[in-house]
Chain A
Amino acid sequence: AQTVTQSQPEMSVQEAETVTLSCTYDTSENNYYLFWYKQPPSRQMILVIRQEAYKQQNATENRFSVNFQKAAKSFSLKISDSQLGDTAMYFCAFMIDNNDMRFGAGTRLTVKP
């Protein structure tokens, strides 16, 4: 069965510092896609970053970058220069070719001034 594990229920970081959120997944498939979504208090779901498993290069989107380790089945999110607006719940998600989407339980991130 495909599963996604986020081992950190809550994290905090000082404004302007860097924080890394961890995510591991389990699958026997070789072709899949990984995502990080952000859910601020407004409860909207917002895409942060996307990674195709066949690409070795780590995806980057402005202050957000991932460390994708396919062999270890790890997909961590690094947020640089944290801002107060980054305070949110962050979900790691994983989709294989049959369009079955799995989310982790989430990490609640608080950015402190």
Chain B
Amino acid sequence: EAQVTQNPRYLITVTGKKLTVTCSQNMNHEYMSWYRQDPGLGLRQIYYSMNVEVTDKGDVPEGYKVSRKEKRNFPLILESPSPNQTSLYFCASSLAGNQPQHFGDGTRLSIL
């Protein structure tokens, strides 16, 4: 089954404790992206990647890191999480940037 898999689905943690949200796709897609969703703001793009070893900043990259060492994986790293990063996070992938994106089921992060 074609899918984008995010882990964990839910996480409650404390300020300053490094965390990684994993994202993996099995569709051989070139393009992958991370978004955060906040009430009243819709989805905002954090980082995207057009291919292996190619990443670029989206609208709200501050406080986040990403890497794309393999085509299928695109982890999101919060080196020192803060409460304002409490949000619902989505990973997505597509054949190319302008093609429809397949989304993961989302990760609910709470930073206390």
Binding site for B on A (CB under 8 A): 4, 6, 9, 33, 35, 43-47, 50, 52, 91, 93, 95, 97-106
Contact = CB atoms under 8 A, between A and B. Distances in A.
Interface of B: 31, 33, 35, 40-45, 48, 50, 56, 58-59, 88, 90, 92, 97-98, 100-101, 103, 105-106
B101 to A, nearest CB: 7
B105 A100 contact: no
Contacts of B105: 43-44
A92 to B, nearest CB: 9
A43 B105 CA distance: 7
A6 B106 CA distance: 23
A102 B59 contact: yes
Nearest to A105: B42
Given A47-B101, A95-B97, A101-B45, 14 more contacts: A9-B40, A43-B88, A44-B105, A97-B97, A99-B48, A99-B50, A99-B98, A100-B59, A101-B35, A101-B97, A101-B101, A103-B43, A105-B41, A105-B42
B90 to A, nearest CB: 6
Main secondary structure of the interface of B (DSSP, over half): strand
Contacts of A103: 35, 42-44
A1 to B, nearest CB: 9
A52 B97 CA distance: 13
A102 B33 CA distance: 12
Given A99-B31, A99-B50, A100-B58, A47 B42 contact: no
Contacts of A50: 100
A27 B48 CA distance: 20
12 contacts: A6-B42, A33-B98, A35-B100, A45-B43, A52-B98, A97-B97, A97-B98, A98-B97, A99-B50, A103-B42, A103-B43, A105-B42
